[in-house]
Structure 1
């Protein structure tokens, strides 16, 4: 998920990958295989998930990546429409890819409609449910979507030994920044989560500091399926301010991870918080913190070291992360910067935090010009 121009300027870099003549599909496959092999996925799972990834990337993915983005996606600061991440929940690795489907025409409307079409196609897969998505879709689409803004995105996640899961990501600012909170209120009413959302609204968050950025739905029929609401934080940040609205966030467990990433500095590089809502609860259930890395590290080797420190604090072996990062990087980690974008973690009182790392592929030579509303 992309950052604002202030962050872009702080971490501007030249392209890391020389893939202009490579198709999006082939690049995604190469990186997926690299990540899954580094996570020690069995060959049968690697092959099956590679087929799943290939099947959800539409015809747009057959085009070459090119020297400049055909349509600049908000997924990445340089306009590239794919982002990879890995997570360790209970010490088990999970590989994930977030992407924006590009339309037949290189426009925001084309991307929006391609995303809607893919959502419906996913509904035919075993275990996928579109029920909640269809209740709220009309709130998040428009005849004239703004360019270089989120529209309808998707993610595929596969945890070793399990079944693949899908999410859809939507933009509450689609109808204007000033209407984002009204859109969220109506979203939560339709999804039966209004009491939990009332709890958040009573906290009196300042929309100028805590900006509603994304909404994500688990596209499955499990009772524990989540609605996730993402905030981007501006200025000097109290990282627990929004996270503490979740019933299972533990500031005492979180504090050492903050220090591992930022030291004693107050983060000003627009970290993010995600609140996860589940049916039957009157408050958000969990919180994920997303700590932005590029502006605070000199190289991806240093980023990997900070991630390793956080993993050790959480009782996790950092070697698999280093293997994944090295497998994804086009050069040794000490000679590149910007591959590591975010460290995410979720605390749960009385349990080890879950950690994840988000990787950005610097494909194009410059960042996309434009402002984030």
Structure 2
């Protein structure tokens, strides 16, 4: 907590970004069964990784216009679900969020990653081998480096690093990805990727992974149901109907029609684009070993009550218990779901070779504010979704989108 002066000259305590997000993380650790010692370790790592931004009072604006979240909080949480298991908690953050420039942002991020790898005995050689590609002298784009911690019992997480393929310009993003894949031994991987409208992230697993991945994220504007089903390129991957079912439920097209969107069969995402992730773990075939489809659910609901209902429906469809999700939402905020959109930012369906499917819900910290409520949609035939519009406090507002 940081002391501040009131207009009358008395001193009060103002909550800081680090304290606010670390407290959220502690409560989330309790939801997934991590003990108090692990929760304290991970909360400390989060605050330390934010650097000087951690001490920034929340009554000041965000340290930067971070692309990581709609309200520019440089922290996001997620829960990854599998059938019959306790969900895995993750935290995504931008270490260089208060840097003076994108170049400095990247330098700070690299220092934090190297400190993490030294602390936990991880190797950073794959990241170091790509430094010139993703950290040029004049970086471009909305980000330089993000990192995610997958929190495990024992206080040693799994680490993921997210880099910007357009650091040398969006026109060179594909070339940068091809070169990076080649350097890491995946010479054939780039040709396995489907056509896309952009490459927002290049990601690496660092640390104690059974099979460390290289992940390429693709942006797909106006994605239709059938197109989503055809995106996976992995051998023995999900069936087209499985991906299409997830798309329909998550985007709200599983019954009836949406205003301006056509029927369930030809529905498209006309707001924020879907993201597809193709992960690679072996170099022999050049084919991905994993596939994930991310739906930006916050842009396709009227409020978070509807987003939560969609998430529950997705989890039920894949045989997963949704109870921890409700507890997690309560752990990060006391506001009512009908008061805004964006608390659940994305829903994702993930497949990896020889593993059951995973569903991930991405939960916003909302340290700096709420995303405004969406405009009302036309009536639906689903009773559950119709009933959500009658929740107390639902006040339609103009729609706001931010990518």
After TM superposition, the score normalised by the length of structure 1 is 0.84
What is the number of residues matched between the two proteins?
345
Q: Please say if residues 247 and 286 of structure 1, whose CA atoms lie closer than 8 Å, have aligned partners that are also in contact.
A: no
- For residues 245-260 of structure 1, the aligned pairs below 5 Å read 245=234, 247-260=236-249
Over 3 Å counting, the alpha-carbon distance change for 1:63 and 1:222 in structure 2 is same
Which residue among 267, 270, 280 is the counterpart of 2:269?
Answer: 267
Q: Please say if residues 249 and 286 of structure 1, whose CA atoms lie closer than 8 Å, have aligned partners that are also in contact.
A: no
Over 3 Å counting, the alpha-carbon distance change for 1:246 and 1:180 in structure 2 is farther
- 1:364, distance to aligned residue in structure 2 (A): 3.8
- For residues 311-330 of structure 1, the aligned pairs below 5 Å read 311-330=315-334
Corresponding position: 1:231 with 2:231: no
The gaps in structure 1 that reach 5 residues or longer are: 1-19
In structure 2, distance between residues paired with 1:155 and 1:293: 21
Corresponding position: 1:110 with 2:104: yes
Structure 2 partner of 1:177: 170
Q: Please say if residues 167 and 216 of structure 1, whose CA atoms lie closer than 8 Å, have aligned partners that are also in contact.
A: yes
Structure 2 partner of 1:297: 301
Over 3 Å counting, the alpha-carbon distance change for 1:110 and 1:39 in structure 2 is same
Structure 1 partner of 2:338: 334
Structure 2 partner of 1:49: 42
Q: Please say if residues 50 and 94 of structure 2, whose CA atoms lie closer than 8 Å, have aligned partners that are also in contact.
A: no
Structure 1 partner of 2:138: 144
In structure 1, distance between residues paired with 2:55 and 2:235: 42
Which residue among 70, 80, 84 is the counterpart of 2:63?
Answer: 70
The gaps in structure 2 that reach 5 residues or longer are: 1-12, 254-263, 372-399
- 1:119, distance to aligned residue in structure 2 (A): 1.7
- For residues 1-373 of structure 1, the aligned pairs below 5 Å read 21-90=14-83, 91-102=85-96, 105-146=99-140, 149-159=142-152, 163-200=156-193, 203=194, 205=195, 207=196, 209=197, 211-220=198-207, 222=209, 224-237=211-224, 238-245=227-234, 247-262=236-251, 263=253, 264=264, 265-269=267-271, 270-282=273-285, 283-347=287-351, 352-364=356-368
- 1:371, distance to aligned residue in structure 2 (A): 9.3
Q: Please say if residues 140 and 169 of structure 2, whose CA atoms lie closer than 8 Å, have aligned partners that are also in contact.
A: no
SS at 1:172 equivalent: coil
- 1:198, distance to aligned residue in structure 2 (A): 2.9
Please identify, of 51-60 and 188-197, the stretch whose mean Cα deviation from structure 2 is larger. Answer: 51-60
In structure 2, distance between residues paired with 1:73 and 1:103: 7
SS at 1:298 equivalent: coil
- Could you report, residue by residue, the CA deviation over 1:223-273 in whole angstroms, capped at 9, with x for unpaired residues? 500011111111233213332456523323323222221222322231111
Rg (Cα) greater in structure: 2
